[in-house]
Amino acid sequence: MAGNDIRIEMKNIQKSFGAVKPLQGIDLTLYKGECLGLLGDNGAGKSTLMKILSGVLIPDQGEFYFEGEKVSIKKPKDAKNLQIETVFQDLALCDTLNVANNIFLGREPVKPGSRLIDKKKLHERTREELDKLGINISSTKLVVQNMSGGQRQAVAIARAMAFQPKVLILDEPTAALGVKEVNMVLGLINKVKKAGVSVILITHRLQDLFEVCDRLMVLHEGKCIDNRTIDQYTLESVIKSIMGNPEGVPVS
């Protein structure tokens, strides 16, 4: 891919918590409209890396480039301003609010000249967002706590997408979901990709990777040990990489 197709570059990212060094100089490149699968065993540093990218943690060392420009990400707001959105597995939704209020939380349309929410517009725009992603939820007034895991995850992704992100980070979006729901979430990822959004996917379900990812990056003990396009992998070689023994491919 050409250089101007690069959305994000992270260079030499290092982070340590005392004696624990979860990240020891990691480079990450993310292209426009691609889905990058981020892999690694527990403690390999995937979540730490994503927390750094979404501004939750600050790295000890390292540089960020966003579409070629050097930027600094020091708090969640910085990441949001760069249109980097993250869907965390647990922290996503307010259970007692309805679908529309969750999706537009913090950006509710208000009636002109007042601070009251324009509920008609809110529900219309929620419906538009859901339709755009092909999410079928009977009512935007449904309270989230009464919904299934898949529906909740769909709402969480719709909420991230409503911010019109350029980068969407999904941390274990299919954990604890049923088969149909997993397919729905994977379908969403492919739709989002088609809209030009770059996606970073963290998952333990290796079979999902082959359905949505264009490239895989494997972390092992704080270092990147494998980084290839998806067609160079088989399920077996992915497992070998995660175990720390990539199949004779030079580390890039």
Partner 1 sequence: MISKEKVENNNINMGQYQFNTKLFSWFGEHKQVLSIFLIFLIISAYFGMSTNSFFTSSNFMNLIQQLAPNLIVVVAMTFVITTAGIDLSVGSVIALASAITAILLEAGFNSPITLVIVLLAGVMVGIVNGYISAYHDIPPFIVTLSSMIFIRGFALLLTGGYSIAIAKEHGLVNIGIGTLFGVPVAALIAIIIVILGAIALRSSRFGIYVIGIGANEESVRRSGVDTRKIKLLTYMMSGGAAALAGLIISSRLGSGSSNIGLMFEMDVIAAVVLGGTSLFGGKGTMMGSLIGVSIIGVIKNGLILMQVSPDIIQIIQGMVLLLAVILNIRIFGNRRK
Q: Which residues bind partner 1 (CB under 8 A)?
A: 76-77, 80, 91-97, 101, 105-108, 110, 115-117, 119, 134-139, 141-143, 146-148, 150-151, 154, 183-184, 186-188, 190-191, 207, 210-212, 234
Nearest residue to 195 via CA among 144, 146, 134: 134
CB of 128 to partner 1, least distance (A): 16
In order, the DSSP letters of 164-225 are --SEEEEESTTTT--HHHHHHHHHHHHHHHHTT-EEEEE-S-HHHHHHH-SEEEEEETTEEE
Between 148 and 164, name the residue whose CB sits nearer to partner 1: 148
Amino acid 96 reads T
Between 239 and 251, name the residue whose CB sits nearer to partner 1: 239
CB of 102 to partner 1, least distance (A): 8
CB of 12 to partner 1, least distance (A): 27
Between 32 and 132, name the residue whose CB sits nearer to partner 1: 132
Q: For residue 188, which phi and psi values (nearest 5 degrees)?
A: -60, -45
CB of 62 to partner 1, least distance (A): 23
Between 92 and 225, name the residue whose CB sits nearer to partner 1: 92
CB of 181 to partner 1, least distance (A): 8
The torsion defined by the Cα of 78, 81, 86 and 91, in degrees rounded to 10, comes to 70
CB 185 within 8 A of CB 148: no
Between 117 and 175, name the residue whose CB sits nearer to partner 1: 117
CB of 125 to partner 1, least distance (A): 15
Between 26 and 162, name the residue whose CB sits nearer to partner 1: 162
Nearest residue to 50 via CA among 143, 171, 136: 171
- Cβ atoms within 10 Å of 140's Cβ, excluding its own: 21
The torsion defined by the Cα of 136, 142, 143 and 144, in degrees rounded to 10, comes to 0
The answer to whether the Cα torsion of 95, 179, 41, 67 is positive or negative is negative
